[in-house]
Structure 1
Amino acid sequence: MLLVAGAHEAWARDDTPYSFSIPAKPRLSALADFTAATGIQVVRPDAGAIRGISRAVSGRYSAETALREILAGSNLGYHFTGPRTVAIEAPGASVGYGGDVVTLDTISVTGGAQDIGRGGVSEINITRADIERRNATDVKGLFRGEAGVTVGSPLPMSQKVYVHGIEETNLAVSIDGARQNNKVFHHNATTMIDPNLLKAVRIDAGVAPVDSGAGALAGAIAYVTKDARDFLSGDGFGGSLKSIFNFNGHVSTNNLTSYSRQGGFETLGSLTYGKGNEFRAGNGQEVLGTATNFLSGIGKAAYQGIEGQRFAISHEQMRDDAIRPFRANAAQIVDVRPTPLLRPYKLDRQNTVFTYTDDSPEGWWDPKFVLAYTRSKVAVDQYSGATIDTYSYTSEGVTESFNGKLENKFALPIGNIVAGLDFYRDRAEYTDKDYRTAERASNFGAYAQARLRPWERTRLSFGLRGEHQHFEGVNGFRSSDQGLSGNVSGEHDLTSFLTAKAGYSRVWAGIPLSENYAQNPAWNYGAGPKSVTSNNSTAGLVAHYGSFELEGGVFRTQINDARVPLWAPDMALRAFNLQTQGFQAGGTYNWADGFVRVRFIRIDAEIDGKPANSYVGRYLTAPIGDVLTFQAVHTIAPWKLTVGGDVEIVFDNNTLFDPATGIGRLEGYQVLNAFIEHRSFYLPSLKMRGEIRNLFNATYTARGTYGLEFGNGLVRPLYESGRSFLASLRLDF
């Protein structure tokens, strides 16, 4: 319950909706974001220290509705002392205007969702509710329904993420604030992560703020894992057991999570194990090399003092070990060199992070310190002939990053400024039978990003970053360079229901390290690689009318001197100019117990002025084209029943089609997924779910998968799973 004072008689209630994107965070900091979003000043004459974590507020709501949610569970009240000022009151405090104190039920404005949104003009937020509803076991499932995010390959260990057509290594990717350096082998996934461990994901598509980290050439992806605080509001302990069984391949995925809070201390442990056979495609054929065998987990410990100082450390690890196609991102690639069809692959990625924050910030003091070590290792067997018994040796690639940042958020009456310093020391090492190579890069940066609401209807964000990088090649070659990055974006409410938004960024990212398996000790760097730069722009309109939301916009990303070396001695400096552009449109209708959402995007990609293919576009882009997605969910509350589904329609793409050879056509496909979920009447902590994926049993290769445009004579791409029935159980205790 929430104590709320009656409004001042002289203040006329204002039901004007405002756009909020406030994650679950320290309540005092959330109130600062509330002021930035509404322009309403918050004072606290009698409330004393404001502590605790507020709930997330995401969407368009009146100022009073949002304020109630921020204060929910705090025993604090409020009253408006004027049209643009609100006072926070401690329990039992005199409100001083004759109004009676009343109790109101807490209003949930997020439906249990938690996000980490910051209000970016090109932001895509995957909330905790989204993750649970999608019941994902891999990255493809995590982003299902998001037309602007493409994930190729049915194999989790070879899935790559494309945001508006740009491959993820051109984005600043982080896990719990730790920079990722996972570009080991182009036949493998870049960042393989277990959705069971995640609380939320934030994507800045194209234009990204400078506090997203170094290397945000085409945006940023921030994965955030779960904390004990996400399950427990106070001292206590608990856990959950979740099991998913996929009858296509008889794949069993099981997760056990436990958590506790006591006297300021917190712990969380989560372990997921997946095991199963190869799946069958829509044509009924078994797709070789698609067996499941992975283990992932995370351990977290934290301590939060009475004054709000919070110290946390976590270690997360993902391992995949199974027989895969010889090139794990394709069923077969025709080669003059004879090779086996299958071979063992071992992938091991780990992420260790220490974080210090102040969860009860005062005034201008709201610090954050992150220190992290990340590591990815890929081991692949090599052969001298076409059969498995011609095994020769095991090659190994290891990437590492030691990185960190120290920043502070300065609260202002009209918003905030985040300023800080960050660094990274990255290494990419390859070990072959006869040689060992490595490239290294170290980088130091300073940045400041402002997020302001200078006028009632206007929200602005702008930032500047300066960096210095030192690069070292495989043969002792060294070079240094420095550059500036900047961005500016904003939203303006043209009317009470129509908002215009736009943004632009220019990014300097230094020299990217080569993938490990492409490194050659005989490389000639000549005058040295060029630093990579990019330009991003976006513009659009968002309309709100009651429960409807419509949006549309255009985007463009240009990346210059994008380095993608090959093994040949003269290919260390191989680089391209890349451009993706397109438009997107969508709409959402929400009601009390569900929603319907539709998204459409068109993505055109060019490399050096020519349509991009997945070979030249390795680590850059892939041919995507037109994608349309639908999502619908409805809950029948009296029955504790939720039903829903999603549809992905991908259209034919003939951009690469060559009439002379008949090769290059990308065929479209349609995929329907549906689920039904029930929470037990007799055991409310038990949730049961039945699901069907690819209902129409389509035989298809997903966009973003390597080689689908080359024809079976050169590349046999991996088919996606055919019709699949899944059964899930989750028990909370």
Structure 2
Amino acid sequence: MASTFHRALFVSTALALLASASHGYAQALDEDDQVLPVVDDAGLPADDGSTLLPQLDVGAGAESSAGTNLITVTQDDLERNQPTDLQEVFSGEPAIAVGGAISGTQKIYVNGVDENNLAVTVDGSRQNNKVFHHNGTYLLDPALLKAVTVQPGVAPADAGPGALAGSMGFETVDAIDLLEPGRDFGGFVTGTYDTDSETYKTGLSLYGIKDGFEYLGYINYANGGNFTAGNGVEMVGTGTDLISGLGKVAYETVTGHRFELSHEQVRDDELRPYRANFYLNVGAEPVLRQYALDRQNTVFTYTTVAPAGLWDPKIVLAYSRTQVETPVYNRSTGDILAPAIGATSSFNGKIENRFAIDLGTITAGVDFFNDSAKLDYADAAFPEFPREHSSNVGAYAQARLDPTDRVRLSFGGRVDHHWFTGADDSDFTNAGVSANASAEYDLVPDFLTAKAGVSRVWAGVPLAENFIQNPAWDYGDGPLPVTSVNLTAGLEMRYEGWTVEAGVFQSDIENARSPAYGRSPYDPATTANRTFDMRSWGWELGVGYDWDAGFVRAKYADVSADVDGMPADSEIGRYLTTPLGGIIMVTAGYRFHDLGLTVGADAEFGLENSRTAIDTGDPDDVRLPLPSYEVFNAFVEYTPPKMENLTLRAEVRNIFNEAYTSRASYGQEFDGVVPHLEPGRTFRFNARLKF
């Protein structure tokens, strides 16, 4: 059994060894008088025999893998859609379902799998957000984002540990992304108003570059009331009181070494339903209670912007933390017993190098994390202060090769050593191996490509949610490590602006830890180690046409999931999956360049899913089918040709005032549970002024 000191020593030693090796290799480069590549005025490499390799970040800054599906939300997508929450970030991508009508309760499901089973990062920092099942697992302000990349199912080894069903990486904006060409200083101010909830949002940013230094400051504040659903009913507890901020400083040497420090924080503090993600009260509990949800992320990154051959290092050190504070009430009297404060955190990092070889690249490195989850509940009669901890050190390598003009390969693996400490201070140690392989083959060059991927992932023992932890738990022989097997395959056709895609997928997760608190009739000796086996599978189809001034795209995903061989519901699938069924999304946009005018529209169709209407044998447990719904949105955006620093935007959401619940939201299959309906018809107005 390893102590905390031994874990820290193990992590520090591993990092020091790799850092020493990297430093030694850098000295060898200097001794051989090898220089960084020369770039021309456009920033492209000169013809000196060296190359700069393109990279598309996935998960923890890993490069995407050939042969697997990759979903990318680019900076252009974000600027066009102007999303206000995660549902709108992933608009047009039915394989990524976001449940929850308000930001603080939204959860992301990729191919039907909860994001807690993905390697999720922000600016390369691991996220550990499993705080409270009535909250979302991730609170983020889209105004701070530059891009999002999702690799469903098969993830590369360098995406990080715990990529049971893929990886997802969020990247925040940099000063260079916002500066106008030829300028070294800039800023902008934004204002948004939503008519349904009478919510206003304002943001201010300043940024610049000077003598190799970069800086960026961004603050965003939103405040508003409850929204009204399409049926005219006010959804109480859906008000907005959110503040978010982002700060970045960076320094880049003349030889290409880049050092960056960033801090991002989001806080949501407002009255919510007692169970924040649906309406249900027991006894004298109040209808609403205060939820204060705070998430922060601090990241230090070292890279080189001018890699040469075998020298392309990256170092990341990061700390992320999420906290929820809410009062607990006596069900008999309605009196406040005590506030409950749950917090999860992760100290994590990696050191790696990408080696450029004739056939492609090989990335190798080590990474680590030290995660914790705790609850502070100081009730005078029954105080509870449970804690769980986990640590992991991993070594990995991933090859990405192009052996021929028509074949692209990606394969790799990682070895992880994992320590887990339970709420009773019992310690358990495990180790495991993960591997992945994927390939693309051009059946018809520049026209038709076949792709497929497979992975087997070992992810150690995940932490229990804070508000579920029980200080009386008995872990016995210890929780079982969770593992998964993922399969993906597909075809992609491209021809003169047309794109047609089709794919199938399956993810099997074994021993997925799903503890229960342990109240009667449960036994605390078993609920700490309770596990399920989960399978998510389905298929997707997409077609689109892009031309210089516009695009139109349609995508369909059909996703099913079982837990222990039975159709999943949103309760038993908590932190694992949720019932989805068929979803269709259509998006279109057109730009009138001479007029400075952009118009666009999107639609979502949730098809009825009767797979949830199962007979449980309990007359008090009635299960309902998920109803169908249709939602349409449209916008118009104008940038005056003679005042290009000003952008005006108007949009209408839920045009036909549909009364519906988002397909991935909790509880809609249970009779007696009242889920949140989504906002009804609303007009949103936005202005952005750059200076």
Q: Same fold (TM over 0.5)?
A: yes
The 8 Å contact of residues 38 and 45 in structure 2, kept in 1 or not, is answered as no
> Residue 155 of structure 2 corresponds to which residue in structure 1?
208
Where do 5+ consecutive residues of structure 1 fail to align? 1-47, 53-70, 79-85, 90-109
How far 1:234 sits from its partner (Å)? 6.1
> Residue 375 of structure 1 corresponds to which residue in structure 2?
321
> Residue 581 of structure 1 corresponds to which residue in structure 2?
537
> Residue 674 of structure 2 corresponds to which residue in structure 1?
716
How far 1:338 sits from its partner (Å)? 3.8
Structure 1 position 631 matched with structure 2 position 587: yes
Correspondences of 1:105-504 after superposition (within 5 Å): 118-120=64-66, 121-232=68-179, 236-330=184-278, 332-333=279-280, 335=282, 337-385=283-331, 390-433=335-378, 434-496=383-445, 497-504=447-454
> Residue 600 of structure 1 corresponds to which residue in structure 2?
556
Q: Which amino acid aligns with 1:488?
A: A
Q: Flag the 1:572–1:206 CA change in 2: closer, same or farther, 3 A.
A: same
Q: Render the CA deviation track for 1:359-381: whole Å, top value 9, x for unaligned.
A: 11121010000000111110011
Structure 1 position 727 matched with structure 2 position 675: no
User: Equivalent residue of 1:147, what SS?
Assistant: coil
The 8 Å contact of residues 226 and 235 in structure 2, kept in 1 or not, is answered as yes
Structure 1 position 557 matched with structure 2 position 507: yes
Structure 2 residue corresponding to 1:691, chosen from 646, 651, 673? 651
Q: Render the CA deviation track for 1:154-196: whole Å, top value 9, x for unaligned.
A: 1100100000000010100000000001101001111111111
How far 1:240 sits from its partner (Å)? 1.2
Q: Flag the 1:634–1:235 CA change in 2: closer, same or farther, 3 A.
A: closer
Structure 1 position 538 matched with structure 2 position 494: no
User: Equivalent residue of 1:131, what SS?
Assistant: helix
Normalised to the residue count of structure 1, the TM-score between the two structures is 0.84
Q: Which amino acid aligns with 1:657?
A: A
User: Equivalent residue of 2:370, what SS?
Assistant: strand
How far 1:51 sits from its partner (Å)? 5.2
> Residue 29 of structure 1 corresponds to which residue in structure 2?
none
Aligned counterparts of 2:49 and 2:123: Cα–Cα separation in 1: 35
Q: Which amino acid aligns with 2:225?
A: N
Aligned counterparts of 2:198 and 2:327: Cα–Cα separation in 1: 27
User: Equivalent residue of 1:436, what SS?
Assistant: coil
How far 1:118 sits from its partner (Å)? 2.5
Aligned counterparts of 1:686 and 1:117: Cα–Cα separation in 2: 35
Structure 2 residue corresponding to 1:74, chosen from 28, 43, 58? 43
> Residue 547 of structure 2 corresponds to which residue in structure 1?
591
Aligned counterparts of 2:509 and 2:497: Cα–Cα separation in 1: 39
Q: Which amino acid aligns with 1:131?
A: L
Q: Flag the 1:51–1:87 CA change in 2: closer, same or farther, 3 A.
A: closer
Q: Which amino acid aligns with 1:362?
A: A
Aligned counterparts of 1:691 and 1:72: Cα–Cα separation in 2: 41
How far 1:119 sits from its partner (Å)? 4.7
Q: Flag the 1:469–1:709 CA change in 2: closer, same or farther, 3 A.
A: same
RCO higher in structure (CA 8 A, sep ≥6) = 2
The 8 Å contact of residues 235 and 263 in structure 1, kept in 2 or not, is answered as no
How far 1:682 sits from its partner (Å)? 2.9
Aligned counterparts of 2:623 and 2:44: Cα–Cα separation in 1: 67
Q: Render the CA deviation track for 1:605-624: whole Å, top value 9, x for unaligned.
A: 00000000000000000000
What is the root-mean-square deviation in Å for CA atoms of aligned residues?
A: 2.0
How far 1:450 sits from its partner (Å)? 0.7
Aligned counterparts of 2:139 and 2:41: Cα–Cα separation in 1: 37
User: Equivalent residue of 1:494, what SS?
Assistant: strand
**Percent sequence identity over matched residues?**
45
The 8 Å contact of residues 116 and 202 in structure 1, kept in 2 or not, is answered as no
Aligned counterparts of 1:51 and 1:600: Cα–Cα separation in 2: 46
Structure 2 residue corresponding to 1:679, chosen from 609, 616, 639? 639
The 8 Å contact of residues 65 and 156 in structure 2, kept in 1 or not, is answered as no
Q: Render the CA deviation track for 1:79-99: whole Å, top value 9, x for unaligned.
A: xxxxxxx9799xxxxxxxxxx
Q: Flag the 1:117–1:695 CA change in 2: closer, same or farther, 3 A.
A: farther
How far 1:458 sits from its partner (Å)? 0.6
Where do 5+ consecutive residues of structure 2 fail to align? 1-34, 519-523
User: Equivalent residue of 2:76, what SS?
Assistant: helix
Q: Flag the 1:50–1:581 CA change in 2: closer, same or farther, 3 A.
A: same
The 8 Å contact of residues 65 and 410 in structure 2, kept in 1 or not, is answered as no
User: Equivalent residue of 2:143, what SS?
Assistant: helix
> Residue 27 of structure 2 corresponds to which residue in structure 1?
none
How far 1:526 sits from its partner (Å)? 1.1
> Residue 64 of structure 1 corresponds to which residue in structure 2?
none
Q: Which amino acid aligns with 1:367?
A: P
Q: Flag the 1:178–1:234 CA change in 2: closer, same or farther, 3 A.
A: farther
Aligned counterparts of 1:545 and 1:599: Cα–Cα separation in 2: 18
Aligned counterparts of 2:569 and 2:45: Cα–Cα separation in 1: 58
Aligned counterparts of 1:510 and 1:246: Cα–Cα separation in 2: 44
The 8 Å contact of residues 116 and 201 in structure 1, kept in 2 or not, is answered as no
Aligned counterparts of 2:426 and 2:213: Cα–Cα separation in 1: 48
